[in-house]
Amino acid sequence: MNEKDSNKIEVYLDHNAEPTATYSPPGSFELDTSHLEDGPHFLRIIATDQSGYRGVRIIPFKVENGPGIAVDGLRENDIVKGKVSILINAYGGAYAEKWEPARAETPAPIPTWVWVTLISIVAWALYYGIQQWKPTPQFASTPTYAGFAIQAQGKKSSAEQGAQLYRTSCASCHQINGQGVPNVFPPMAGDAIVTAPDPSDHIKIVLFGAKGRTIKGVTYQAEMPAWVEQLSDEEAAAVINHERTSWGNNAPVVTSEEIAKIRSEGNPQK
């Protein structure tokens, strides 16, 4: 017997004591899984050389010849209580001469992709409608519509512009929370002029400044600088509207036209 003939390979299936195949290397055999149960199995391969030394290798595999099983309503490791509605379907056809695909269809709710598509269409329709809608002049001048229109054009809305202007130009004195500094800078939150239905005095103070105001019995000697040269009509309206609608304030907003009118009338203190 030559060296090749003395080598031997034995193939065992699962825990069987008898080998499924025995041959001298190299060799090949056909593993028929049609008689195996679905589930995990393994091949145990034992090779013996001419000196009698043995090598062992185990190869796990899984058989799925039976019908596929679909379960809707319960997943692995779910925590459930009470009654749980479960839908079960089985489908296959590996050994059927004429397999009907409809047997593999499991009744199910509307697929997620349908909802995503529907929401995308609705969102696009709303965006297109806003772009094409021609509002009445009265509604077009409101901060709500103006904010949508500006954002659609990729610009900052009036509300965003007002908040930024307040942070950079006003918050150092009146504070970011609108509470001011006691006995030094007056508060914006709840101030009678800021919340007044008529915004004229509010506009005049922002444009032309003020000094020595008394609020709720407290006189503030710090001078409010004039912003008439620094702010455009749109910017002044934006920051005033921020003050009139923030920190609990709920006063009527102003327009750039109102700012322009009072600006043209000049400083009433001169």
pLDDT of amino acid 197: 92
Q: Which regions of the chain are under pLDDT 70?
A: 1-6, 92-112, 130-156, 269-270
Asked whether residue 93 falls in the same domain as residue 43, the answer is no
146-192 confidence digits (pLDDT tens): 555 555 554 567 788 888 888 888 888 888 998 888 878 888 888 88
Asked whether residue 59 falls in the same domain as residue 87, the answer is no
122 inside domain: no
Joined together, the tokens standing for residue 222 give: 């710090």
Query: What's the pTM?
Result: 0.44
pLDDT of amino acid 93: 53
Asked whether residue 95 falls in the same domain as residue 170, the answer is no
Are 143 and 159 contacting, i.e. CB atoms less than 8 angstroms apart?
A: yes
Q: How many domains does the chain have?
A: 3
Asked whether residue 188 falls in the same domain as residue 230, the answer is yes
136 inside domain: yes
Q: What is the CATH number of the domain that holds 41?
A: 2.60.40
Asked whether residue 157 falls in the same domain as residue 254, the answer is yes
Q: What is the DSSP string of the chain?
A: --HHHH-EEEEEETT-SS-SEEEPSS-------TTSPSEEEEEEEEEE-TTS-EEEEEEEEEE--S-EEEEES--TT----S----EEEEE--TT-SS--GGGGPPP-S--HHHHHHHHHHHHHHHHHHHHH----HHHHTSHHHHHHHHHHTTS--HHHHHHHHHHHHTHHHH-TTS--BTTTB--STT-TTTT-SS-HHHHHHHHH-B-SEEETTEEE-SPBPP-TTT--HHHHHHHHHHHHSSTT--PPP--HHHHHHHHHH--TT-
Joined together, the tokens standing for residue 24 give: 């001298």
| Domain span at 58 | 3-63
119 inside domain: no
